[in-house]
Chain A
Amino acid sequence: MTYLVLQTQLTDTGEWIANIFFYIIAAVAIVAALRMVTTNNVVHASLYLLVVLSAVAATYVILGAEFAAATQILVYLGAIMVLLLFGVMLTRAKIGAETDLDHDQKWIGALVAASLGAVMGYSLWEGFGDVRMPADQVPQRTEAVADEIFSTYIVPFEALSVLLLAALIGAVVVARRD
Protein backbone atom coordinates (compact mmCIF):
# COMPACT_ATOMS: atom_id res chain seq x y z
CA MET A 1 0.00 0.00 0.00
CA THR A 2 1.56 3.26 -1.06
CA TYR A 3 0.53 6.55 0.42
CA LEU A 4 1.06 9.65 -1.58
CA VAL A 5 1.38 12.05 1.29
CA LEU A 6 1.54 10.72 4.82
CA GLN A 7 2.15 7.49 6.64
CA THR A 8 1.92 7.56 10.41
CA GLN A 9 4.33 5.73 12.64
CA LEU A 10 2.71 5.64 16.05
CA THR A 11 4.43 3.19 18.36
CA ASP A 12 5.78 3.97 21.83
CA THR A 13 5.48 7.69 21.21
CA GLY A 14 1.68 7.33 21.13
CA GLU A 15 1.49 6.13 24.72
CA TRP A 16 4.03 8.70 25.87
CA ILE A 17 2.13 11.56 24.24
CA ALA A 18 -1.20 10.33 25.64
CA ASN A 19 0.29 10.34 29.17
CA ILE A 20 1.73 13.86 28.85
CA PHE A 21 -1.56 15.20 27.52
CA PHE A 22 -3.55 13.44 30.23
CA TYR A 23 -1.52 15.17 32.97
CA ILE A 24 -1.87 18.57 31.29
CA ILE A 25 -5.63 18.13 30.92
CA ALA A 26 -6.04 16.83 34.47
CA ALA A 27 -4.10 19.80 35.88
CA VAL A 28 -6.21 22.25 33.87
CA ALA A 29 -9.42 20.56 35.07
CA ILE A 30 -8.40 20.64 38.75
CA VAL A 31 -7.25 24.26 38.69
CA ALA A 32 -10.41 25.33 36.85
CA ALA A 33 -12.62 23.41 39.29
CA LEU A 34 -10.97 25.12 42.27
CA ARG A 35 -11.22 28.55 40.64
CA MET A 36 -14.87 27.89 39.85
CA VAL A 37 -15.81 27.70 43.53
CA THR A 38 -13.42 30.44 44.69
CA THR A 39 -14.08 33.10 42.04
CA ASN A 40 -16.31 36.03 43.01
CA ASN A 41 -18.14 36.51 39.73
CA VAL A 42 -21.02 34.32 38.58
CA VAL A 43 -20.15 34.44 34.87
CA HIS A 44 -16.52 33.63 35.61
CA ALA A 45 -17.67 30.64 37.67
CA SER A 46 -19.75 29.38 34.71
CA LEU A 47 -16.80 29.84 32.36
CA TYR A 48 -14.54 27.86 34.71
CA LEU A 49 -17.16 25.11 34.84
CA LEU A 50 -17.05 25.14 31.05
CA VAL A 51 -13.29 24.56 31.14
CA VAL A 52 -13.78 21.61 33.53
CA LEU A 53 -16.40 20.04 31.27
CA SER A 54 -14.23 20.45 28.15
CA ALA A 55 -11.31 18.88 30.02
CA VAL A 56 -13.53 15.87 30.76
CA ALA A 57 -14.36 15.65 27.04
CA ALA A 58 -10.63 15.78 26.22
CA THR A 59 -10.01 12.91 28.66
CA TYR A 60 -12.65 10.85 26.84
CA VAL A 61 -10.79 11.45 23.55
CA ILE A 62 -7.54 10.19 25.11
CA LEU A 63 -9.36 7.09 26.36
CA GLY A 64 -10.59 6.40 22.82
CA ALA A 65 -14.26 7.07 23.65
CA GLU A 66 -14.95 9.47 20.78
CA PHE A 67 -18.72 9.16 20.92
CA ALA A 68 -18.79 9.99 24.63
CA ALA A 69 -16.50 12.96 24.00
CA ALA A 70 -18.67 14.36 21.20
CA THR A 71 -21.80 13.83 23.31
CA GLN A 72 -20.13 15.60 26.24
CA ILE A 73 -19.35 18.61 24.03
CA LEU A 74 -22.77 18.66 22.33
CA VAL A 75 -24.84 18.26 25.51
CA TYR A 76 -22.79 19.98 28.23
CA LEU A 77 -20.95 22.70 26.34
CA GLY A 78 -23.36 23.28 23.49
CA ALA A 79 -26.64 23.06 25.35
CA ILE A 80 -26.47 23.07 29.15
CA MET A 81 -23.65 25.61 29.57
CA VAL A 82 -25.06 27.87 26.87
CA LEU A 83 -28.46 27.84 28.60
CA LEU A 84 -26.81 28.45 31.97
CA LEU A 85 -24.79 31.40 30.63
CA PHE A 86 -27.93 32.63 28.88
CA GLY A 87 -29.89 32.52 32.14
CA VAL A 88 -27.12 34.12 34.19
CA MET A 89 -26.62 36.92 31.66
CA LEU A 90 -30.35 37.62 31.40
CA THR A 91 -30.79 37.98 35.15
CA ARG A 92 -27.69 38.95 37.16
CA ALA A 93 -24.52 39.40 35.22
CA LYS A 94 -22.54 42.15 36.89
CA ILE A 95 -19.03 42.70 35.62
CA GLY A 96 -16.42 42.71 38.37
CA ALA A 97 -16.29 41.22 41.87
CA GLU A 98 -19.48 40.54 43.81
CA THR A 99 -19.50 40.51 47.60
CA ASP A 100 -22.67 38.54 48.38
CA LEU A 101 -21.55 35.27 46.81
CA ASP A 102 -19.97 34.01 50.02
CA HIS A 103 -21.93 31.64 52.23
CA ASP A 104 -21.68 30.43 55.84
CA GLN A 105 -22.27 26.83 54.81
CA LYS A 106 -19.19 26.71 52.60
CA TRP A 107 -17.16 24.71 55.15
CA ILE A 108 -19.85 22.02 55.35
CA GLY A 109 -19.94 21.97 51.54
CA ALA A 110 -16.16 21.62 51.41
CA LEU A 111 -16.35 18.76 53.92
CA VAL A 112 -19.01 16.94 51.87
CA ALA A 113 -17.03 17.46 48.66
CA ALA A 114 -13.80 16.24 50.26
CA SER A 115 -15.41 13.10 51.72
CA LEU A 116 -17.20 12.35 48.42
CA GLY A 117 -13.91 12.75 46.57
CA ALA A 118 -12.17 10.47 49.09
CA VAL A 119 -14.84 7.74 48.80
CA MET A 120 -14.92 7.85 44.99
CA GLY A 121 -11.16 8.05 44.68
CA TYR A 122 -10.69 5.11 47.06
CA SER A 123 -13.28 2.91 45.34
CA LEU A 124 -11.88 3.70 41.88
CA TRP A 125 -8.35 2.98 43.08
CA GLU A 126 -9.45 -0.29 44.70
CA GLY A 127 -11.49 -1.39 41.70
CA PHE A 128 -9.34 -0.29 38.78
CA GLY A 129 -5.97 0.60 40.38
CA ASP A 130 -3.99 -2.01 38.45
CA VAL A 131 -5.81 -1.68 35.12
CA ARG A 132 -3.53 -0.31 32.40
CA MET A 133 -4.62 1.32 29.18
CA PRO A 134 -3.40 -0.82 26.25
CA ALA A 135 -0.51 0.81 24.37
CA ASP A 136 -2.20 0.17 21.02
CA GLN A 137 -5.46 1.77 22.13
CA VAL A 138 -7.84 2.17 19.19
CA PRO A 139 -10.92 4.39 19.37
CA GLN A 140 -14.10 2.56 20.25
CA ARG A 141 -16.38 2.13 17.27
CA THR A 142 -19.67 4.02 17.44
CA GLU A 143 -21.49 0.93 16.14
CA ALA A 144 -20.25 -1.01 19.17
CA VAL A 145 -21.65 1.67 21.51
CA ALA A 146 -24.98 1.59 19.66
CA ASP A 147 -25.15 -2.22 19.79
CA GLU A 148 -24.55 -2.17 23.55
CA ILE A 149 -27.18 0.52 24.17
CA PHE A 150 -29.84 -1.22 22.09
CA SER A 151 -29.21 -4.74 23.42
CA THR A 152 -27.62 -4.99 26.87
CA TYR A 153 -28.78 -1.62 28.18
CA ILE A 154 -32.11 -1.36 26.38
CA VAL A 155 -34.19 -1.23 29.61
CA PRO A 156 -32.22 1.58 31.30
CA PHE A 157 -32.17 3.39 27.95
CA GLU A 158 -35.97 3.21 27.61
CA ALA A 159 -36.44 4.18 31.27
CA LEU A 160 -34.22 7.22 30.69
CA SER A 161 -36.20 8.28 27.62
CA VAL A 162 -39.46 8.05 29.57
CA LEU A 163 -37.89 10.13 32.35
CA LEU A 164 -36.79 12.78 29.85
CA LEU A 165 -40.23 12.78 28.23
CA ALA A 166 -41.82 13.34 31.65
CA ALA A 167 -39.40 16.24 32.27
CA LEU A 168 -40.24 17.68 28.85
CA ILE A 169 -44.01 17.52 29.46
CA GLY A 170 -43.46 18.98 32.93
CA ALA A 171 -41.55 21.91 31.44
CA VAL A 172 -44.36 22.58 28.95
CA VAL A 173 -46.98 22.46 31.75
CA VAL A 174 -44.97 24.86 33.93
CA ALA A 175 -44.32 27.26 31.04
CA ARG A 176 -47.93 27.42 29.77
CA ARG A 177 -49.81 30.36 31.22
CA ASP A 178 -53.41 29.44 30.31
Chain B
Amino acid sequence: MFAVELAYWQETILKLLFAFVAVLIPAGATVNLYLFKMVSFMQSRLGPMEAGPYGSLQLVAEVGKWAQKEDIVPARADEFVYKASPYVVLLSTFLLVLVVPFGPDAFFANFGTGIFFAMAVSSVSVIGILMAGWASASKYSLLGGLRAAGQLIAYELPLVLAVVGVVIQAGSLNLQDIVMAQHNGEIFGWGAIGNPFILTQFVGFMIFLIAVQAELTQTPFDMPIAESELVSGYMTEYSGFRFLLFFIGEFATANIFAFLGATLFLGGWSIPPFLMDIIPGLAPELDATGAVLSEGGNSAAGMSPWFNLIGPIVMLVKMLALTFIVYWVRFTYPRFREDQLQKFAWKVLIPISLVNIAVTGVLKVVF
Protein backbone atom coordinates (compact mmCIF):
# COMPACT_ATOMS: atom_id res chain seq x y z
CA MET B 1 0.00 0.00 0.00
CA PHE B 2 1.22 3.49 -0.71
CA ALA B 3 -0.25 6.82 0.25
CA VAL B 4 0.06 10.02 -1.74
CA GLU B 5 -0.22 13.45 -0.20
CA LEU B 6 -1.46 16.14 -2.56
CA ALA B 7 -2.09 19.85 -2.19
CA TYR B 8 -5.60 21.13 -2.83
CA TRP B 9 -4.82 22.52 -6.27
CA GLN B 10 -2.99 19.35 -7.33
CA GLU B 11 -5.95 17.25 -6.28
CA THR B 12 -8.34 19.59 -8.13
CA ILE B 13 -6.35 19.33 -11.36
CA LEU B 14 -6.19 15.54 -11.06
CA LYS B 15 -9.92 15.37 -10.45
CA LEU B 16 -10.58 17.55 -13.51
CA LEU B 17 -8.51 15.16 -15.62
CA PHE B 18 -10.27 12.13 -14.15
CA ALA B 19 -13.64 13.76 -14.82
CA PHE B 20 -12.78 13.98 -18.53
CA VAL B 21 -11.67 10.34 -18.46
CA ALA B 22 -14.82 9.25 -16.61
CA VAL B 23 -17.06 11.07 -19.10
CA LEU B 24 -15.31 10.51 -22.43
CA ILE B 25 -13.88 6.97 -22.21
CA PRO B 26 -17.19 5.21 -21.31
CA ALA B 27 -19.01 7.36 -23.87
CA GLY B 28 -16.58 6.31 -26.61
CA ALA B 29 -16.72 2.69 -25.51
CA THR B 30 -20.51 2.46 -25.51
CA VAL B 31 -20.91 4.33 -28.79
CA ASN B 32 -18.44 2.00 -30.49
CA LEU B 33 -19.72 -1.15 -28.85
CA TYR B 34 -23.47 -0.56 -28.87
CA LEU B 35 -24.37 2.23 -31.29
CA PHE B 36 -22.05 1.01 -34.06
CA LYS B 37 -21.71 -2.74 -33.55
CA MET B 38 -24.58 -4.17 -31.48
CA VAL B 39 -27.21 -2.27 -33.45
CA SER B 40 -25.69 -3.51 -36.71
CA PHE B 41 -25.93 -7.11 -35.53
CA MET B 42 -29.54 -6.54 -34.42
CA GLN B 43 -30.26 -5.33 -37.97
CA SER B 44 -28.38 -8.23 -39.63
CA ARG B 45 -25.49 -6.17 -40.97
CA LEU B 46 -21.83 -5.88 -40.07
CA GLY B 47 -21.55 -2.20 -39.24
CA PRO B 48 -18.26 -0.32 -39.59
CA MET B 49 -15.49 -2.72 -40.67
CA GLU B 50 -12.85 -0.56 -42.37
CA ALA B 51 -11.38 1.76 -39.71
CA GLY B 52 -9.09 -0.30 -37.52
CA PRO B 53 -9.39 -4.01 -36.78
CA TYR B 54 -13.06 -5.00 -36.96
CA GLY B 55 -14.02 -1.32 -37.23
CA SER B 56 -12.89 -0.56 -33.70
CA LEU B 57 -11.36 2.80 -34.61
CA GLN B 58 -14.51 4.05 -36.36
CA LEU B 59 -15.16 6.56 -33.56
CA VAL B 60 -11.75 8.20 -34.05
CA ALA B 61 -12.56 8.58 -37.74
CA GLU B 62 -15.98 10.05 -36.92
CA VAL B 63 -14.52 12.60 -34.48
CA GLY B 64 -11.94 13.57 -37.11
CA LYS B 65 -14.71 14.01 -39.65
CA TRP B 66 -16.77 16.25 -37.36
CA ALA B 67 -13.79 18.34 -36.29
CA GLN B 68 -13.09 19.11 -39.96
CA LYS B 69 -16.64 20.17 -40.80
CA GLU B 70 -17.54 23.84 -41.03
CA ASP B 71 -19.14 25.33 -37.91
CA ILE B 72 -22.20 26.95 -39.48
CA VAL B 73 -24.30 29.56 -37.69
CA PRO B 74 -27.62 30.34 -39.43
CA ALA B 75 -27.81 33.96 -40.65
CA ARG B 76 -30.80 34.91 -38.49
CA ALA B 77 -29.73 32.94 -35.43
CA ASP B 78 -28.90 34.47 -32.05
CA GLU B 79 -25.19 33.83 -32.33
CA PHE B 80 -24.08 33.82 -28.69
CA VAL B 81 -26.94 31.66 -27.36
CA TYR B 82 -26.62 29.36 -30.38
CA LYS B 83 -22.93 28.82 -29.72
CA ALA B 84 -23.27 28.51 -25.94
CA SER B 85 -26.06 25.94 -25.76
CA PRO B 86 -23.99 22.75 -26.47
CA TYR B 87 -21.74 23.73 -23.57
CA VAL B 88 -24.72 24.08 -21.23
CA VAL B 89 -25.76 20.52 -22.14
CA LEU B 90 -22.20 19.28 -21.51
CA LEU B 91 -22.06 21.22 -18.23
CA SER B 92 -25.00 19.18 -16.97
CA THR B 93 -23.15 15.98 -17.91
CA PHE B 94 -19.99 16.99 -16.04
CA LEU B 95 -21.94 18.15 -12.97
CA LEU B 96 -23.66 14.75 -12.92
CA VAL B 97 -20.43 12.75 -12.90
CA LEU B 98 -19.21 14.72 -9.86
CA VAL B 99 -21.32 12.77 -7.39
CA VAL B 100 -20.72 9.23 -8.69
CA PRO B 101 -18.48 7.26 -6.29
CA PHE B 102 -16.04 4.82 -7.92
CA GLY B 103 -14.43 3.53 -4.73
CA PRO B 104 -13.98 4.24 -1.01
CA ASP B 105 -11.79 7.26 -1.76
CA ALA B 106 -12.23 7.45 -5.53
CA PHE B 107 -14.91 10.10 -5.86
CA PHE B 108 -14.93 13.65 -7.19
CA ALA B 109 -17.07 15.14 -4.42
CA ASN B 110 -18.69 13.23 -1.57
CA PHE B 111 -21.81 15.39 -1.38
CA GLY B 112 -24.05 14.82 1.62
CA THR B 113 -27.01 15.37 -0.70
CA GLY B 114 -25.47 13.19 -3.47
CA ILE B 115 -28.39 11.76 -5.38
CA PHE B 116 -30.59 14.83 -4.83
CA PHE B 117 -27.85 17.00 -6.32
CA ALA B 118 -27.60 14.61 -9.28
CA MET B 119 -31.34 14.79 -9.93
CA ALA B 120 -31.15 18.60 -9.71
CA VAL B 121 -28.27 19.10 -12.15
CA SER B 122 -29.65 16.59 -14.63
CA SER B 123 -32.39 19.13 -15.35
CA VAL B 124 -29.85 21.77 -16.41
CA SER B 125 -29.54 20.07 -19.81
CA VAL B 126 -33.15 21.07 -20.59
CA ILE B 127 -32.08 24.70 -20.49
CA GLY B 128 -29.34 24.02 -23.02
CA ILE B 129 -31.81 22.22 -25.28
CA LEU B 130 -34.33 25.08 -25.04
CA MET B 131 -31.55 27.59 -25.80
CA ALA B 132 -30.53 25.57 -28.86
CA GLY B 133 -34.12 25.29 -30.05
CA TRP B 134 -34.82 28.99 -29.75
CA ALA B 135 -31.50 30.41 -30.95
CA SER B 136 -31.43 28.37 -34.18
CA ALA B 137 -34.18 30.58 -35.66
CA SER B 138 -35.81 27.55 -37.22
CA LYS B 139 -39.33 26.22 -36.72
CA TYR B 140 -38.12 22.62 -36.55
CA SER B 141 -35.58 23.48 -33.89
CA LEU B 142 -38.01 25.50 -31.79
CA LEU B 143 -40.66 22.75 -31.91
CA GLY B 144 -38.03 20.17 -31.01
CA GLY B 145 -36.81 22.27 -28.11
CA LEU B 146 -40.32 22.79 -26.76
CA ARG B 147 -41.13 19.09 -27.08
CA ALA B 148 -37.91 18.23 -25.28
CA ALA B 149 -38.70 20.64 -22.45
CA GLY B 150 -42.24 19.29 -22.02
CA GLN B 151 -40.99 15.72 -22.03
CA LEU B 152 -38.08 16.30 -19.67
CA ILE B 153 -40.28 18.11 -17.14
CA ALA B 154 -42.78 15.24 -17.27
CA TYR B 155 -40.20 12.47 -16.84
CA GLU B 156 -38.06 14.20 -14.25
CA LEU B 157 -40.81 13.62 -11.67
CA PRO B 158 -40.93 9.79 -11.95
CA LEU B 159 -37.11 9.79 -12.06
CA VAL B 160 -36.86 11.65 -8.75
CA LEU B 161 -39.75 9.72 -7.19
CA ALA B 162 -38.27 6.34 -8.22
CA VAL B 163 -35.05 7.25 -6.43
CA VAL B 164 -36.94 8.19 -3.24
CA GLY B 165 -37.68 4.51 -2.55
CA VAL B 166 -33.94 3.73 -2.53
CA VAL B 167 -33.27 6.77 -0.34
CA ILE B 168 -35.88 5.60 2.19
CA GLN B 169 -34.34 2.12 2.30
CA ALA B 170 -30.75 3.33 2.59
CA GLY B 171 -31.69 6.12 4.99
CA SER B 172 -29.39 8.58 3.25
CA LEU B 173 -29.09 10.78 0.18
CA ASN B 174 -25.33 10.26 0.06
CA LEU B 175 -24.34 7.83 -2.69
CA GLN B 176 -21.47 6.41 -0.64
CA ASP B 177 -23.96 5.63 2.15
CA ILE B 178 -26.30 4.02 -0.40
CA VAL B 179 -23.47 1.76 -1.65
CA MET B 180 -22.59 0.75 1.91
CA ALA B 181 -26.24 0.18 2.83
CA GLN B 182 -26.45 -2.33 -0.03
CA HIS B 183 -23.09 -3.87 0.88
CA ASN B 184 -23.98 -4.33 4.56
CA GLY B 185 -27.59 -5.27 3.86
CA GLU B 186 -28.98 -8.71 4.54
CA ILE B 187 -31.82 -10.60 2.90
CA PHE B 188 -33.66 -12.14 5.85
CA GLY B 189 -30.38 -12.59 7.71
CA TRP B 190 -28.47 -13.89 4.65
CA GLY B 191 -25.73 -11.43 3.82
CA ALA B 192 -23.65 -13.29 1.23
CA ILE B 193 -24.58 -10.95 -1.62
CA GLY B 194 -25.53 -7.96 0.53
CA ASN B 195 -28.86 -6.46 -0.41
CA PRO B 196 -28.70 -4.81 -3.84
CA PHE B 197 -31.76 -2.58 -4.03
CA ILE B 198 -32.75 -4.00 -7.43
CA LEU B 199 -34.29 -6.88 -5.43
CA THR B 200 -36.33 -4.80 -2.99
CA GLN B 201 -36.88 -1.79 -5.23
CA PHE B 202 -37.57 -3.56 -8.53
CA VAL B 203 -40.53 -1.29 -9.30
CA GLY B 204 -38.36 1.75 -8.62
CA PHE B 205 -35.63 0.28 -10.84
CA MET B 206 -38.03 -0.20 -13.77
CA ILE B 207 -39.43 3.34 -13.38
CA PHE B 208 -35.87 4.67 -13.14
CA LEU B 209 -34.86 2.94 -16.39
CA ILE B 210 -37.96 4.14 -18.26
CA ALA B 211 -37.57 7.71 -16.98
CA VAL B 212 -33.86 7.71 -17.87
CA GLN B 213 -34.73 6.56 -21.39
CA ALA B 214 -37.11 9.51 -21.66
CA GLU B 215 -34.68 11.98 -20.06
CA LEU B 216 -32.09 11.01 -22.66
CA THR B 217 -34.69 11.45 -25.45
CA GLN B 218 -33.84 7.97 -26.73
CA THR B 219 -36.39 5.96 -28.70
CA PRO B 220 -39.23 5.19 -27.83
CA PHE B 221 -39.24 8.68 -26.28
CA ASP B 222 -37.53 10.57 -29.12
CA MET B 223 -40.36 12.92 -30.11
CA PRO B 224 -38.03 15.96 -29.61
CA ILE B 225 -35.76 14.80 -32.44
CA ALA B 226 -38.33 12.83 -34.44
CA GLU B 227 -36.57 12.70 -37.80
CA SER B 228 -39.72 12.02 -39.83
CA GLU B 229 -41.34 15.26 -38.62
CA LEU B 230 -38.71 17.63 -37.26
CA VAL B 231 -35.59 16.75 -39.31
CA SER B 232 -33.49 16.48 -36.14
CA GLY B 233 -35.33 18.66 -33.63
CA TYR B 234 -33.27 21.12 -31.65
CA MET B 235 -30.05 19.82 -33.28
CA THR B 236 -31.24 20.51 -36.85
CA GLU B 237 -29.10 23.60 -37.53
CA TYR B 238 -25.97 22.39 -35.76
CA SER B 239 -22.98 21.08 -37.63
CA GLY B 240 -19.37 20.15 -37.08
CA PHE B 241 -17.89 20.45 -33.63
CA ARG B 242 -21.00 21.77 -31.90
CA PHE B 243 -23.06 18.85 -33.18
CA LEU B 244 -20.33 16.59 -31.81
CA LEU B 245 -20.70 18.27 -28.40
CA PHE B 246 -24.46 17.53 -28.40
CA PHE B 247 -23.66 13.98 -29.45
CA ILE B 248 -21.12 13.51 -26.64
CA GLY B 249 -23.54 15.11 -24.18
CA GLU B 250 -26.31 12.69 -25.15
CA PHE B 251 -24.27 9.48 -24.94
CA ALA B 252 -22.09 10.48 -22.00
CA THR B 253 -25.22 11.36 -20.02
CA ALA B 254 -26.60 7.92 -20.86
CA ASN B 255 -23.50 6.38 -19.30
CA ILE B 256 -23.59 8.57 -16.22
CA PHE B 257 -27.25 7.76 -15.61
CA ALA B 258 -26.22 4.11 -15.94
CA PHE B 259 -23.46 4.75 -13.37
CA LEU B 260 -26.07 6.29 -11.08
CA GLY B 261 -28.43 3.36 -11.68
CA ALA B 262 -25.62 0.93 -10.87
CA THR B 263 -24.87 2.83 -7.67
CA LEU B 264 -28.50 3.02 -6.59
CA PHE B 265 -29.73 -0.44 -7.52
CA LEU B 266 -26.80 -2.77 -8.28
CA GLY B 267 -24.53 -2.13 -5.29
CA GLY B 268 -22.21 0.47 -6.84
CA TRP B 269 -18.47 -0.15 -6.76
CA SER B 270 -18.63 -2.85 -4.09
CA ILE B 271 -18.57 -6.59 -4.84
CA PRO B 272 -20.74 -9.18 -3.06
CA PRO B 273 -19.47 -9.69 0.54
CA PHE B 274 -18.89 -13.45 0.11
CA LEU B 275 -16.33 -12.71 -2.63
CA MET B 276 -14.52 -10.42 -0.20
CA ASP B 277 -14.16 -13.32 2.23
CA ILE B 278 -12.63 -15.52 -0.47
CA ILE B 279 -10.19 -13.02 -2.00
CA PRO B 280 -7.36 -12.15 0.45
CA GLY B 281 -6.57 -8.53 1.27
CA LEU B 282 -10.09 -7.21 0.78
CA ALA B 283 -11.25 -7.49 4.40
CA PRO B 284 -12.71 -4.17 5.59
CA GLU B 285 -11.37 -2.27 8.58
CA LEU B 286 -13.96 -2.46 11.36
CA ASP B 287 -14.67 -0.06 14.20
CA ALA B 288 -15.39 -0.97 17.84
CA THR B 289 -18.99 -2.01 17.13
CA GLY B 290 -18.00 -4.34 14.27
CA ALA B 291 -19.39 -2.13 11.52
CA VAL B 292 -17.29 -0.88 8.60
CA LEU B 293 -15.21 2.09 9.80
CA SER B 294 -16.54 5.46 8.75
CA GLU B 295 -14.50 8.63 8.78
CA GLY B 296 -15.17 12.30 8.06
CA GLY B 297 -18.59 11.79 6.50
CA ASN B 298 -17.31 8.97 4.30
CA SER B 299 -19.08 5.81 5.43
CA ALA B 300 -16.87 3.62 3.18
CA ALA B 301 -13.56 4.78 4.71
CA GLY B 302 -12.96 1.35 6.27
CA MET B 303 -13.25 -0.58 3.01
CA SER B 304 -10.05 -2.01 1.56
CA PRO B 305 -8.10 0.64 -0.43
CA TRP B 306 -7.86 -1.91 -3.26
CA PHE B 307 -11.45 -1.00 -4.06
CA ASN B 308 -10.15 2.30 -5.46
CA LEU B 309 -8.73 0.16 -8.29
CA ILE B 310 -11.38 -2.58 -8.43
CA GLY B 311 -14.29 -0.15 -7.98
CA PRO B 312 -13.99 1.69 -11.32
CA ILE B 313 -13.80 -1.66 -13.16
CA VAL B 314 -16.83 -3.02 -11.28
CA MET B 315 -18.70 0.19 -12.05
CA LEU B 316 -17.72 -0.02 -15.73
CA VAL B 317 -19.11 -3.58 -15.98
CA LYS B 318 -22.38 -2.64 -14.27
CA MET B 319 -22.64 0.50 -16.40
CA LEU B 320 -22.17 -1.54 -19.60
CA ALA B 321 -24.95 -3.89 -18.48
CA LEU B 322 -27.37 -1.01 -17.89
CA THR B 323 -26.48 0.90 -21.07
CA PHE B 324 -27.00 -2.35 -22.96
CA ILE B 325 -30.65 -2.23 -21.83
CA VAL B 326 -30.91 1.44 -22.87
CA TYR B 327 -29.65 0.70 -26.42
CA TRP B 328 -31.57 -2.56 -26.66
CA VAL B 329 -34.84 -0.73 -25.98
CA ARG B 330 -33.76 2.16 -28.20
CA PHE B 331 -33.44 -0.06 -31.25
CA THR B 332 -36.38 -2.34 -30.54
CA TYR B 333 -39.43 -0.20 -29.89
CA PRO B 334 -41.27 2.27 -32.15
CA ARG B 335 -41.77 5.88 -31.12
CA PHE B 336 -44.48 7.07 -28.72
CA ARG B 337 -46.91 9.73 -29.94
CA GLU B 338 -46.64 13.05 -28.06
CA ASP B 339 -49.94 12.62 -26.18
CA GLN B 340 -49.20 8.97 -25.34
CA LEU B 341 -45.82 10.03 -24.04
CA GLN B 342 -47.27 12.68 -21.71
CA LYS B 343 -50.10 10.43 -20.55
CA PHE B 344 -47.66 7.62 -19.79
CA ALA B 345 -45.64 9.86 -17.51
CA TRP B 346 -48.45 11.59 -15.65
CA LYS B 347 -51.07 8.83 -15.49
CA VAL B 348 -48.93 5.69 -15.19
CA LEU B 349 -45.38 6.29 -13.97
CA ILE B 350 -46.02 9.01 -11.37
CA PRO B 351 -48.92 7.19 -9.61
CA ILE B 352 -46.94 3.91 -9.54
CA SER B 353 -43.87 5.63 -8.13
CA LEU B 354 -45.99 7.39 -5.46
CA VAL B 355 -47.47 4.02 -4.45
CA ASN B 356 -43.93 2.58 -4.41
CA ILE B 357 -42.81 5.32 -2.02
CA ALA B 358 -45.80 4.73 0.30
CA VAL B 359 -45.26 0.94 0.35
CA THR B 360 -41.50 1.34 0.91
CA GLY B 361 -42.16 3.75 3.76
CA VAL B 362 -44.62 1.37 5.44
CA LEU B 363 -42.29 -1.64 5.03
CA LYS B 364 -39.34 0.40 6.32
CA VAL B 365 -41.28 1.11 9.53
CA VAL B 366 -42.55 -2.49 9.84
CA PHE B 367 -39.19 -4.25 9.40
CB distance from A19 to the nearest CB of B (A): 14
Nearest CB in chain A to that of B118: its residue: A70
Residue A1 interfacial (CB < 8 Å): yes
Contacts of B135-174 to chain A: CB distance below 8 A: 135, 137, 142, 145-146, 149-150, 152-153, 156, 172-173
Contacts of B114-143 to chain A: CB distance below 8 A: 116-117, 119-121, 123-124, 126-127, 130-131, 133-135, 137, 142
Q: Which A residues are in CB contact (< 8 Å) with B77?
A: 95
Question: Quick one: which of A5, A13, A47, A69 has the most chain B CB within 10 A?
Answer: A5
| Binary contact readout A32-60 vs B (1 if CB under 8 angstroms, 0 otherwise) | 00000000010110010010000000000
Contact assessment for B153 and A79 in the assembled complex, using a CB-CB cutoff below 8 Å: yes
CB distance from A138 to the nearest CB of B (A): 8
Contact assessment for B130 and A86 in the assembled complex, using a CB-CB cutoff below 8 Å: yes
Stretch at the interface among B64-72, B270-278, B305-313, B331-339: B305-313
Contact assessment for B121 and A4 in the assembled complex, using a CB-CB cutoff below 8 Å: no
Q: Which A residues are in CB contact (< 8 Å) with B149?
A: 82, 85-86
CB distance from A59 to the nearest CB of B (A): 15
Interface of A, helix, strand, loop or mixed by DSSP: helix
| Binary contact readout B1-16 vs A (1 if CB under 8 angstroms, 0 otherwise) | 1111111110100100
CB distance from A7 to the nearest CB of B (A): 5
How many interface residues does B have (CB within 8 Å)? Answer: 53
Contacts of B297-311 to chain A: CB distance below 8 A: 297, 301, 305-306, 308-309
Known A-B contacts A4-B305, A8-B11, A95-B76; the reply to A85 vs B127 at CB < 8 A is: yes
Residue B81 interfacial (CB < 8 Å): yes
What total count of A-B pairs have CB within 8 Å?
Answer: 134
Nearest CB in chain A to that of B81: its residue: A47
Q: Which B residues are in CB contact (< 8 Å) with A14?
A: 8
How many interface residues does A have (CB within 8 Å)? Answer: 43
Q: Which A residues are in CB contact (< 8 Å) with B6?
A: 6-9
CB distance from B282 to the nearest CB of A (A): 13
Contact assessment for B133 and A89 in the assembled complex, using a CB-CB cutoff below 8 Å: yes
CA–CA, A82 to B126, complex, Å?
Answer: 7
Residue A71 interfacial (CB < 8 Å): yes
Write 21 A-B pairs (CB below 8 A) sorted by A numbering: A2-B3, A2-B305, A4-B309, A6-B4, A6-B6, A7-B4, A7-B5, A9-B5, A9-B8, A13-B9, A17-B8, A71-B116, A73-B121, A82-B126, A82-B127, A82-B130, A83-B153, A86-B150, A89-B130, A139-B297, A142-B172
Contact residues of B with A, CB < 8 Å? 1-9, 11, 14, 76-78, 81, 105-106, 111-113, 116-117, 119-121, 123-124, 126-127, 130-131, 133-135, 137, 142, 145-146, 149-150, 152-153, 156, 172-173, 285, 295, 297, 301, 305-306, 308-309
